[in-house]
Amino acid sequence: MSRIGKKPITIPAGVTVTVAGQTLSVKGSQGTITRDFSTAVVFEVVDGSLKVSLQKNDRASKSLWGTYSAHASNMIAGVTTPFQKRLIIEGIGFKAEVKGSEVVLNLGFSHQIKVKIPEGLKVVAEKGALLISGINTELVGQFAAKIRDLKKPEPYKGKGIRYHDEVIRRKQGKKTA
């Protein structure tokens, strides 16, 4: 039995949750998220909370119960306060700027790297940092990982793109004789 799936999800004031078949739609002050779920679980709004229950009591349904409950909880949390990821850009000449609907990165290559910003995300370039925010936690995390993957931090000087709270274990360089 899923401990996460059993707990009802409280719906805060100002958030509207509608269930139409297997489609869950959450509307709040930051925007609207709609997502389709499989028939393994059933969503129902009861007394200001969202209850997630099993359709069938088989192993596959039980494995999706907690996952779908967490997805619904993230949807509700995202429309109240947007999710954020901060990336730190370290290195001489490394910089990022937002031009229209794409991020232009200078990462020490012979060319600039242009990455299109997905619909629904907001990207702000600061000095030595990128702030990615949006109401969909999966989209924010995926885009941040895509940007980080362009130049992963290296362990000797720490150059590259890393998450704000990520710790890079530094290695000792070559010793001179």
Q: Report pLDDT digits (tens) over 82-139.
A: 999 999 999 999 999 999 999 999 999 999 999 999 999 999 999 999 999 999 999 9
Domain co-membership, 133 together with 107 = yes
Residue 26 lies in domain: 3-80
- Rounded CA Rg of the chain: 21
pLDDT at 1 over 70: no
CATH number of the domain residue 145 falls in: 3.90.930.12
3-state secondary structure of 29: coil
Q: Which residues pair with 160 in a beta bridge?
A: 90
Residue 175: band (very low, low, confident or very high) from pLDDT cuts 50, 70, 90: confident
Query: What is the distance between the alpha carbons of residues 15 and 32, in angstroms, rounded to a whole number?
Result: 10
The amino acid at residue 14 is G
Cα gap 108→106, rounded to integer Å: 6
For 43, other C-beta atoms within 10 Å of its C-beta total 21
Question: What's the predicted TM-score (pTM) here?
Answer: 0.89
Using the 3D structure, point to which of 80, 98, 114 is the last residue of a domain: 80
The total number of structural domains that make up the chain? 2
